[in-house]
Each structure stands twice: as structure tokens, then as C-alpha cells.
A = this chain, B = another copy of it.
């Protein structure tokens, strides 16, 4: 068997956030997300059918929610977003990569 590294093969200064599925099945998807100062479109919320467990492995980010609250995430911080908990990525650290790991799953 061979291992890959979550911090490898990161494109330099990508124009958009990069979503990459690493493993999973029909009911679960394990995904790497690379942000580079990106935020979600200001107009829209993520309103997902599945729950999402997410951790910041490198960098920094701020998530905000439709009840006007927000949360600042540093390296190692994780949280669970239940399905239909509307959220968006308000900010990620400029000039560097923020590496997320996300697990989407059905309850």
C-alpha cells in the first residue's frame, strides 16, 4: 500500500478553491479543500443535504452562519455542521494556503 500526503501537490496561487475527493463511498465523501485567500460567493449560502465534519489542517479561516454568528478556525480546529445548517466561508488567510479536510456524510 502507498500513502499520499495531504500537504503535497498543492497548486501555486490557484484562481479558485480546489475540491478533491480522496476516498469514500455512496454515503460518505472525504475531501481535501485548498483555499488561498478565497471566500464563498457573498450572495450564497451552503445549504447541504448531508452533514459535514470539517477541520482546518493548515492556515486559518472564518465561517459564518445565517444567524449572524461566525467562528474563527485555526490549525487543528474542527466542527460538525449538521445538514441544512446554512454557512459560508467568510474569509481565509491571504497569501497562503488553507488546507481543509471535510467529511460529508448522511445521518
Residues in chain A within 8 A of chain B (CB atoms): 1-8, 22-28, 30, 51, 53, 55, 57, 63, 65, 69, 71, 73-74, 76-81, 85, 101, 103, 105-107
Copy total for this chain: 2
A69 partner, pick from B1, B26, B51, B57, beta carbons under 8 A: B1
Instruction: Judge whether A22 and B105 touch: CB under 8 Å.
Output: no
Majority secondary structure, A binding face: strand
Distance between Cα atoms of A81 and B30 in the complex (Å): 13
Q: Which of B1, B55, B85, B105 contacts A28 (CB 8 A)?
A: B105
Determine if A4 and B77 form an interchain contact, defined as CB atoms under 8 angstroms apart. Answer: yes
Please determine whether A27 and B27 come into contact, CB atoms closer than 8 angstroms: yes
